[in-house]
């Protein structure tokens, strides 16, 4: 069995580890700072730690390092990375520049088993879930590359975050910790395709992050065609879970709605969507999709997206159109990883 990653440990977990090793508790915070604030790549850089402890840690643990396999930069400043993990698997990470700060979109799994029809990330299934430290390392590697602080995180890259629940929860603990990157929960959005039992489990944590639901359709016939997860958790169950989530956490839900030409962009669909979520105070993000090779779907044109948004607004639903970033690079989720895999196979 390979070594464990020390980056995966939260401060309470490190405190437990120090106790096991007969070390004082304060070393947990010190080591956490070396890993998540100073972001060292080797144990020997932890200069205030006893050599005997470092030798012991090195026997059992390693510090994760991501290698940049590819990097693409868009004219609008969006940077997309293909990072290689120590086991050779690849993941994608994207940095987007907004007026309020830099946002990183992180992957939470290598591949995905959710099977959404418009998504390149799922085409080869799930390989494995990322650990907490590996997800944090995406942010650290992206920050080091752009030379600027990243203030916001969206868990919207490759993978379904709630299908990797425990590691994602540890990642959130690590990344929001004042002894580390110190990114406030209100600057973090977690996106799910709609795993109802896990939405309820997340609600119990009462985190102040923004929960984003990839809805994409207001009825079961349409949604099941686009997203097989809907067969397990139909629209009515999903919306009921969203209402429970809002009641428990006091946080408003955000709905992601990818506009697909001729599939979910009619006036009748906008009316149905408004009926479904009106009164929840939720926000709808309309997303002009980035086309994916091999997918039957194409993007709704800009004028129709605008009409859809205006109709929702008239019907009392708060809706905005997401700015399309990185459309001149392979910015649709999973595309860069798929291109690299194809090249490796030929
Ligand atoms: S959209 Fe998200 S949940 Fe759906 S297949 Fe792609 S990565 Fe998985």
Please state the domain extents for the chain: 67-345
SS3 80: strand
Tell me how far the alpha carbon of residue 51 lies from the centroid of ligand 1, in angstroms.
45
Distance CA 169, CA 154 (A): 14
Distance CA 240, CA 238 (A): 5
Nearest to 85 by CA among 113, 64, 107: 64
- Tell me the catalytic residues: 92, 333
Distance CA 27, CA 40 (A): 16
Residue 103: its pLDDT value, please?
Answer: 97
- Ligand 1 pocket residue status of 160, Cβ below 6 Å: yes
**Pairing relationship of beta strands 150-155 and 126-129 according to DSSP bridges:** unpaired
Tell me how far the alpha carbon of residue 52 lies from the centroid of ligand 1, in angstroms.
45
Burial class (CB in 10 A: 0-12, 13-18, 19+), 246: middle
Nearest to 218 by CA among 177, 140, 274: 274
Nearest to 253 by CA among 287, 277, 282: 282
Tell me how far the alpha carbon of residue 117 lies from the centroid of ligand 1, in angstroms.
9
Residue 28: its pLDDT value, please?
Answer: 98
- Ligand 1 pocket residue status of 159, Cβ below 6 Å: yes
Residue 122: its pLDDT value, please?
Answer: 87
Residue 119: its pLDDT value, please?
Answer: 85
User: Which parts of 66-214 are beta strand (E)?
Assistant: 67-73, 79-84, 90-98, 101-105, 109-111, 126-129, 150-155, 188-192, 210-214
Residue 299: its pLDDT value, please?
Answer: 84
Looking at ligand 1, which residue's alpha carbon is closest to its atom 6?
A: 119
Distance CA 142, CA 147 (A): 8
Average pLDDT per 10 consecutive residues for the chain, totaling 346 residues:
92 98 98 98 97 97 96 93 96 93 97 91 93 98 97 96 98 98 97 98 97 97 96 98 97 94 94 95 88 74 94 96 70 64 62
Tokens 């418009």 appear where? Answer: 118
Mutate to test the pocket of ligand 1, among 193, 224, 226 (most ligand atoms within 8 A of CB): 193
Tell me how far the alpha carbon of residue 244 lies from the centroid of ligand 1, in angstroms.
23
Distance CA 28, CA 113 (A): 36
- Ligand 1 pocket residue status of 188, Cβ below 6 Å: no
- Ligand 1 pocket residue status of 119, Cβ below 6 Å: yes
Structure tokens at 21: 């090793």
Structure tokens at 206: 């009462």
CB 122 within 8 Å of CB 110: no
Atom of ligand 1 nearest to the CA of 193: 3
Give the CATH fold of the 67-345 domain. TIM Barrel (3.20.20)
Distance CA 156, CA 228 (A): 18
Nearest to 234 by CA among 194, 283, 274, 201: 194
CB 208 within 8 Å of CB 255: no
SS3 188: strand
- Ligand 1 pocket residue status of 122, Cβ below 6 Å: yes
């Amino acid at each position: 069995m390979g070594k464990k990653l020390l980056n995966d440990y939260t401060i309470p977990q490190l405190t437990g580890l120090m106790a096991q090793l007969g070390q004082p508790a304060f070393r947990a915070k010190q080591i956490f700072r070396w890993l998540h604030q100073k972001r060292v790549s080797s144990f020997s850089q932890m200069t205030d730690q006893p050599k005997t402890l470092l030798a012991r840690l090195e026997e059992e643990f390693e510090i994760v390092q991501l290698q940049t396999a590819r990097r693409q930069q868009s004219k609008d400043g969006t940077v997309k990375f293909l990072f290689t993990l120590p086991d050779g698997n690849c993941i994608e990470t994207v940095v987007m520049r907004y007026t309020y700060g830099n946002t990183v979109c992180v992957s939470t799994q290598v591949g995905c088993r959710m099977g959404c029809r418009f998504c390149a990330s799922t085409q080869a299934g799930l390989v494995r879930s990322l650990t907490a430290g590996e997800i944090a390392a995406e942010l650290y590697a992206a920050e080091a590359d752009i030379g600027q602080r990243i203030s916001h995180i969206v868990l919207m890259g490759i993978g379904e975050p709630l299908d990797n629940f425990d590691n994602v929860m540890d990642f959130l603990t690590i990344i929001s910790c004042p002894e580390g990157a110190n990114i406030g929960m209100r600057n973090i959005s977690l996106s799910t395709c709609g795993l109802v039992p896990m939405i309820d489990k997340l609600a119990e944590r009462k985190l102040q992050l923004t929960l984003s639901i990839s809805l994409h359709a207001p009825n079961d016939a349409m949604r099941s065609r686009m997203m097989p997860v809907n067969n397990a958790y139909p629209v009515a169950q999903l919306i009921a879970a969203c209402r429970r989530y809002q009641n428990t956490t006091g946080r408003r839900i955000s709905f992601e709605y990818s506009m697909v030409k001729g599939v979910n962009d009619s006036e009748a669909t906008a009316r149905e969507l408004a009926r479904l979520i009106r009164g929840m105070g939720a926000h709808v993000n309309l997303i002009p999709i980035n086309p994916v090779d091999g997918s039957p779907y194409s993007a709704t044109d800009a004028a129709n997206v605008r009409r859809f948004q205006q109709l929702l607004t008239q019907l009392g639903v708060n809706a905005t159109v997401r700015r399309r970033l990185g459309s001149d690079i392979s910015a649709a989720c999973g595309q860069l990883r798929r291109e690299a895999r194809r090249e490796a196979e030929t």
